[in-house]
Structure 1
């Protein structure tokens, strides 16, 4: 089975078991990633996950990958030259209209596979809208959302390495080492650590989460222990994520599309 939606002719696509298909839309970002990484990181990493996932899926898996939406919501990085962004409102419309096209093609299962943390709030809005407007089983999935392999990253990195730190730099060393400048990588300490040390409730991942721009946490545009990155860590991280994505796609496949066909009691 071909894995990429765009590789089919319309006639061949019409012959597929569209009621079982799972359409995955990879979404990323084109935004600054500190002095040592390219702006392509979030799109490069989600594309790398897609390539590895496509090879790892069972032959009979009904997954099809849509073309990657590379420019998404990156306004937290907008003060850094080169960053590209859509507004949240525009991205909601773009992703919802792509999902609507998928629904018109007879596919009810839709996955947003994400490589950028700034897209997460938008994804939740989009999947709800697709459920309401098109009765789709729509899922928000972050490739990095299945945890990290044990013993690979420090506790500080796991908590505060939110951007261009050890994890992202390691994954880029595994996927695109020619675009990583390790000589410019260092320990980019996040001011988020100060919030954790000085306050009980304030901080990312806590009860009182601030709205923020990147420079609020690091004027260097990176947070985390980038100087510790290795390609081996990156491969371990990708393997960990892909194994769990294979399981998640099998679970989505097993969930009947009529799971949504319920009416209110009154």
Structure 2
């Protein structure tokens, strides 16, 4: 039976319910996922947002077996400079994005949440989010990247048939086929040329002579994606994310102080 994951999203609640649940000790989750970022011909621009909210809901549901969890509205604009040549794609400057993350996360903490998980679906957003959160209380906040952990990379390596990829590719398209198959148009999936770099710079749809040319905007081969691969990837991803979230929630402030002292040069 499907659980009611909607019960964790604060945008669907009155403020007094949010306040009560915060007072009762609810953990906060802040998803980061673009809603205006090209994902090839076969996926919608809000692919990252769909993934961020799908994952946040299920992490919240899993956490809620031991402690309540509340999901804040997704940060849908971020630093995504590799895609700005494609219609509809938006990218904030690093400074603006860092300020946005820091202020929103800081307000969640100042509003009473004792712990906050920042769930990040991006790659170019990783360093800016780290810098933004470094200025907040590290004992109360944890940056989670959806592709990090021991299980997901291992499963992805085992399943991958494509020779390269990291965007709207075999892996991401498989995830979407498992999460939201009605939004995937596999008849329009198109592989990108093999580029010189493992992680390309700014992709371009208009210059075939560029080393970063991709007519569709994908980087990899989405034609090899399947829902079965997506289910396996999602299971590994959720296990990784829940393990990291649970460990962080269980930590007390002494653990963070000890880690901070250990990192100081002596």
Alignment TM-score, normalising by the size of structure 1? 0.80
Aligned residue number for residue 214 of structure 2: 219
Aligned residue number for residue 247 of structure 1: 243
What 5-or-longer segments of structure 2 have no aligned partner?
205-210
Aligned partner (choices 253, 256, 265) of residue 257 of structure 1: 253
After superposition, give the CA deviation of every residue in 1:111-133 in whole Å (9 maximum; x if it has no partner).
210112121121111110113xx
Q: Does 1:56 align with 2:58?
A: no
Task: Call closer, same or farther: CA 1:258–1:6 in 2, change over 3 Å.
Answer: farther
Matched residues in 1 for 2:253 and 2:10: separation?
20
Task: Call closer, same or farther: CA 1:19–1:222 in 2, change over 3 Å.
Answer: same
Contact 1:164 1:223 in 2 (8 A): yes
Trace 1:178-193 onto structure 2 (pairs within 5 A). Answer: 178-191=182-195
Aligned residue number for residue 161 of structure 2: 154
Query: How far has the Cα of 1:58 moved from its partner?
Result: 4.5
Trace 1:2-81 onto structure 2 (pairs within 5 A). Answer: 2-7=7-12, 9-16=14-21, 18=23, 21-29=26-34, 30-81=36-87
Query: How far has the Cα of 1:246 moved from its partner?
Result: 1.6
User: Bigger CA drift: 14-23 or 117-126?
Assistant: 14-23
Matched residues in 2 for 1:246 and 1:106: separation?
23
Alignment TM-score, normalising by the size of structure 2? 0.80
4+ residue runs over 6 A deviation: 262-266
What secondary structure is seen at the aligned counterpart in 2 of 1:83?
coil
Contact 1:28 1:46 in 2 (8 A): yes
Matched residues in 2 for 1:190 and 1:103: separation?
44
Task: Call closer, same or farther: CA 1:40–1:16 in 2, change over 3 Å.
Answer: closer
Aligned residue number for residue 170 of structure 1: 174
What 5-or-longer segments of structure 1 have no aligned partner?
196-202, 205-209
Task: Call closer, same or farther: CA 1:236–1:93 in 2, change over 3 Å.
Answer: same
Matched residues in 1 for 2:162 and 2:40: separation?
21
Give the superposed CA RMSD.
2.8
Matched residues in 1 for 2:233 and 2:16: separation?
39
